[in-house]
Amino acid sequence: MKLWGGRFTKPTDALTDDFNSSIHFDHVLYSYDIEGSIAHGKMLVKQGILTKEEGEKIEQGLLEIKKDIENGTVVFDVDAEDIHMNIEKLLTERIGDAGKKLHTGRSRNDQVALDMKMYAKDQIQEIDEMLHQLLQTLHQLAREHTETIMPGYTHLQKAQPVTLAHHLTAYFEMFKRDRDRLKDCYKRANVMPLGSSALASTTYALDREYVKELLDFDSITLNSMDGVSDRDYLLELLSGLSIVIMHLSRFSEEIILWCSDEFHFIKLDDSYSTGSSIMPQKKNPDIAELIRGKTGRVYGHLMGLLTTMKGIPLAYNKDMQEDKEAVFDAVNTIKMCVPIFTNMIRTMTVDKDAMYQGAKGAFTNATDAADWLVKKGIAFREAHAVIGKLVLYCIESEKNIEDLSLEEFQEISPMFDEGIYDHITMEACVDHRNNIGGPSKEAMEKVLSIHKQYLAEKQLP
């Protein structure tokens, strides 16, 4: 008989058991379920609801079950539905009636809420450390390339010269924000729901603060209905992970472009590339493409859970079981993608000359030529029009701006003199952008110093 089967007159259909059961995916919560159960048992002893002997038997039994699960000697029972009832069933089989008393004052509803919050906290910490490693790699690469000039783009058209360091630190800022979002999510996962019971708390005199301390939560939930039905922190986690993988995907798209023959800005290490079954010359950026592809997978989990939660009345409903596979898969996807992406960019080879030559094309110094005229006293809009004519002349003459003679410059505007040449080199275009946030070496050194300090600070407890 099922643990809840007292009011039923016949067993559930086998198909119903399979459909209703979650043990095939929620078994990953076993360690959190056992840790939470041990804390709950200790609290019941403290409150005089269980005897000290019963509490000791329960704790010892749970620790033995944990050991056996980790040794692979436990076979979970689909008929017991989920990890909570599987562990309770195993405990009762091993220690007898004391195992039946463990569920006093709690429900699977607050039990699963506890387990998922403990899981979320741990996973956020693990992912945060992975993002920290990625940021360290970006920081090191940026330090090496403060003078590696490359084209900056808008609309995927060459726009102005920047440096590779400047480009990389743009992603540094993105992943910093990702860590901030996860840190914020951690705060809301760090509120302990156990004691909410099914939805209306319990008549037993529980010490929820004691359990909170045992399980290292910051605070306890203040409404039992919300305690069992809140999945906001999982939606936040999925949203945060969706933005993480969006950033990885954007960077992956650039990696894919940069290692193409058309760009030739980088070469990926053989360890992070694949070949073709038919074309022997191919070296494909499959890792970057897979990360880009897995982005839709994580997005899908976020939209799925949002849709699941949108019409659920208070309090707990079985629909909420759909949170686990979505969250587990999104977390596992991110935990695969971040480390391999980190290693991929850490081992790539940068072709500095190709980047520099790329920066020289498509009149990326045109804005600097206009700025030079402005500093000579011409209004910017007039300078913009003059340089527009100059670019048109260059296109028709098949020349770059810096290749024009002074006479050609002065045919467009008499304001030009020899000083224009020093102002429109690629180096000058970068170095003159010396405001914080800009690509000059001086500005980048200041930003990298700030980033170094950031990397030395602790983000999560």
The yes/no answer on whether domain 5-104 falls in CATH 1.10.645.10 is no
Summarised one tens digit per residue, pLDDT across range 314-327 is 999 999 999 999 99
Q: What is the pLDDT of residue 327?
A: 98
* Global pTM value: 0.95
Q: Where are the beta strands (DSSP E) in 133-189?
A: 149-154, 157-163
For residue 237, what are the contacts with CB-CB under 8 A and spacing of at least 6? 120, 123, 124, 182, 185, 189, 327, 330, 331
Q: What is the pLDDT of residue 367?
A: 97
**Which two three-digit tokens encode residue 246?**
């969006």
Once rounded to an integer, what is the mean pLDDT over residues 270-296?
A: 95
- Measure Cα distances from 408 to 16, 169, 400 in Å: 84, 39, 12
Q: Examine domains 5-104 and 109-203+216-357 and report if their fold is the same.
A: no
Q: Is the pLDDT of residue 291 over 80?
A: yes
Residue among 194, 187, 196, 197 at smallest CA distance from 218: 187
Q: Is the pLDDT of residue 4 over 60?
A: no
How far is the C-alpha of 149 from the C-alpha of 199, rounded, in Å? Answer: 61
Q: What is the pLDDT of residue 5?
A: 61
DSSP secondary structure letter of residue 31: H
Once rounded to an integer, what is the mean pLDDT over residues 269-291?
A: 95
For residue 175, what are the contacts with CB-CB under 8 A and spacing of at least 6? 131, 134, 135, 138, 244, 247
Q: Between the CA atoms of 286, 175, 298 and 318, what dihedral angle is there, to the nearest 10 degrees? A: 150
Q: Is the pLDDT of residue 8 over 70?
A: no
Domain map (residue ranges) of the chain:
5-104, 109-203+216-357, 364-456
Once rounded to an integer, what is the mean pLDDT over residues 33-38?
A: 98
Residue among 177, 310, 313 at smallest CA distance from 240: 177
- Phi, then psi, of 76 in degrees rounded to 5: -75, 150
CATH superfamily assigned to domain 364-456? Fumarase/aspartase (C-terminal domain) (1.10.40.30)
Assign 461 a pLDDT band (cuts: 50, 70, 90).
confident
Burial of 228 (0-12, 13-18, 19+ CB in 10 A): buried
How far is the C-alpha of 322 from the C-alpha of 263, rounded, in Å? Answer: 44
Summarised one tens digit per residue, pLDDT across range 129-187 is 999 999 999 999 999 999 999 999 999 999 999 999 999 999 999 999 999 999 999 99
Q: What is the pLDDT of residue 2?
A: 59
Once rounded to an integer, what is the mean pLDDT over residues 198-208?
A: 98
DSSP secondary structure letter of residue 418: T
Degrees to nearest 5, angle at CA 310 with 306 and 316: 100
Q: Is the pLDDT of residue 272 over 60?
A: yes
Summarised one tens digit per residue, pLDDT across range 361-409 is 899 999 999 999 999 999 999 999 999 999 999 999 999 999 999 999 9
pLDDT more than 90, % of the chain: 94
Q: What is the pLDDT of residue 3?
A: 62
How far is the C-alpha of 345 from the C-alpha of 252, rounded, in Å? Answer: 10
Residue 171 contacts residue 440 (beta carbons within 8 Å): no
Instruction: Note the CATH architecture for domain 109-203+216-357.
Output: Up-down Bundle (1.20)
Q: Is the pLDDT of residue 1 over 60?
A: no
- Cite the active site residues: 155, 276
Assign 46 a pLDDT band (cuts: 50, 70, 90).
very high
How far is the C-alpha of 315 from the C-alpha of 158, rounded, in Å? Answer: 55
Once rounded to an integer, what is the mean pLDDT over residues 412-424?
A: 97
DSSP-assigned states of every residue in 326-368 = HHHHHHHHHHHHHHHHHHHHHS-EE-HHHHHHHHHSTTTTHHH
Q: What is the pLDDT of residue 448?
A: 98
Residue 363 contacts residue 347 (beta carbons within 8 Å): no
Is the bond into 354 cis (omega within 30 degrees of 0)? Answer: no
- Phi, then psi, of 203 in degrees rounded to 5: -85, -10
Assign 265 a pLDDT band (cuts: 50, 70, 90).
very high
How far is the C-alpha of 158 from the C-alpha of 290, rounded, in Å? Answer: 27
**Which two three-digit tokens encode residue 52?**
């000290």
